[in-house]
Amino acid sequence: MQTRREFVTASGIAWSALAQAGAAQQAGKSAPTSSTRRIRLGVVGGGFGATFHWHEHPNCEIAAVSDLRADRRKRLRDAYRCDKFYDSLEIMLDRARDLDAVAIFSGAVDHYKHVEMCFRRGLHVISACPACWTLEEASKLKDLKEKTGLRYMMAESSYYRGPCIYARNLFEQGGFGTLFYSEVEYYHDRGDLEKLVSDKATRFYEPDESPSWRWGLPPMHYPTHSLGYTVGVTKERVTKVSCLGWGSRHRWTDANRYGNPFWNESALMQTDRGNMVRCNVFFLVGADGERAQWFGEKGSLYMSNTGVNADAWKDRISPETQRASREFRIPDYWNSEMLPRPMRHASGHGGSAVFLSAEFINALVEDREPVIDVYESLAMTVPGIVAHASALKNGEQLTVPQFSKRGA
């Protein structure tokens, strides 16, 4: 539920556009459908994958669940009330032959591999972020999706957080004027560094106490929670990036499978419209959460976050500027016609979980591409891969390859 206040600084901004942004229902196509078609969905990954709401959609049935770990299989069974459970994705794909689609919520480094397995069996896919791990996988994902014609969606939560929906509507109404600069941020502190090493009962370790895929993760390989606030608002594409990294001596940075020396990475990016983006992903920081600021020639929108001083913008505005500022609340978009009635409730990741669930099922029922399709997903993912490469080269500016729609 969105209860935090957001701030907008206006110097000539059209307040009618602000009103329309709050009332608009077109942001993201997640609206009820009148079809009676049923989608039989398999869910893989009993961590994050057990926190969605596909089973509440009138047109969806959870037909199978899978995880390598028994405790997570149980979590999936309990969450979705599904008694068809399997020890692995491979077994599920072999035995559950009546599926229409699969939700992939395995480890980040395995997303492409698991998506490919499903595509080759003719199944549509929604995948956790990031969409891929390497540029080679990005190219393969695009080619495979275009070859099969199957639907692909990345479950990027930033896209459906209330402030992002608001910013997207505001942009479409012209309220920003030219939106020339955005600051997009994802902060996920790893906490007590001594405990990080000693406590083996965390998600940073496998049951056998070996490091999990999260250990030493290059920050910019997980960029979508930040770039969702740029690509997901303006549909811009990042074309160039220069990135710097920061790290301190610790087993996290000294001994990981990625050869990654950084806790935190910060990038300055340029888009295909000549606009600027400052993108942060920090894993060792006294802050937490996802946040953005959008700066336009007519007006600027500041997204608050309790982990990054929720009222900072109000405190720092000068008396002269404050007279041109408005304080308002982001609407509870989930409590609207944007969702099927059973899904109109607060949900995880800033209220985004119900929207992501509904949009994927609606896209399949309506036989259309999801709004976060393969091209949008790669536009949120690939710049981070290149940004990390830049950080390893001390900030050298690099060109970001484009994975556009065929014929576009």
Taking alpha carbons only, the member of 87, 57, 137, 108 closest to residue 353 is 57
CA distance 214 to 119: 26
CA distance 281 to 276: 17
Could you say which DSSP state residue 131 is in? Answer: S
Query: How confident is the model at residue 29, as a pLDDT?
Result: 64
Q: Which CATH number fits domain 39-156: 3.40.50.720, 3.30.450.20, 3.30.505.50, 1.10.20.10?
A: 3.40.50.720
What residues does each domain of the chain span?
5-26+158-331+371-399, 39-156
Query: How confident is the model at residue 310, as a pLDDT?
Result: 34
Neighbours of 43 (CB within 10 A): 28
CA distance 43 to 76: 8
Identical fold, 5-26+158-331+371-399 and 39-156 = no
Taking alpha carbons only, the member of 218, 196, 173 closest to residue 392 is 218
3-state secondary structure of 62: strand
Reported CATH class of domain 5-26+158-331+371-399: alpha beta
Residue 383 burial (10 A CB sphere; 0-12, 13-18, 19+):
buried
CA distance 63 to 70: 18
Enclosing H/E stretch for 75: helix 70-80
Token representation of residue 37: 């078609």
List the chain pLDDT tens, one digit each, 408 residues.
334 456 655 544 554 565 666 665 555 666 666 677 899 999 999 888 888 899 999 999 999 999 998 988 998 998 999 989 999 999 999 998 899 999 999 999 999 999 999 999 999 999 999 999 999 999 999 999 999 999 999 999 999 999 999 999 999 988 888 999 999 999 999 888 888 898 888 888 888 889 889 999 999 999 999 999 999 999 999 999 999 999 988 999 999 999 999 999 999 999 999 999 999 999 999 888 899 999 998 888 888 764 333 322 232 344 444 444 555 678 888 888 889 999 899 888 888 899 999 999 999 999 999 999 999 999 999 999 999 999 999 999 999 999 988 756
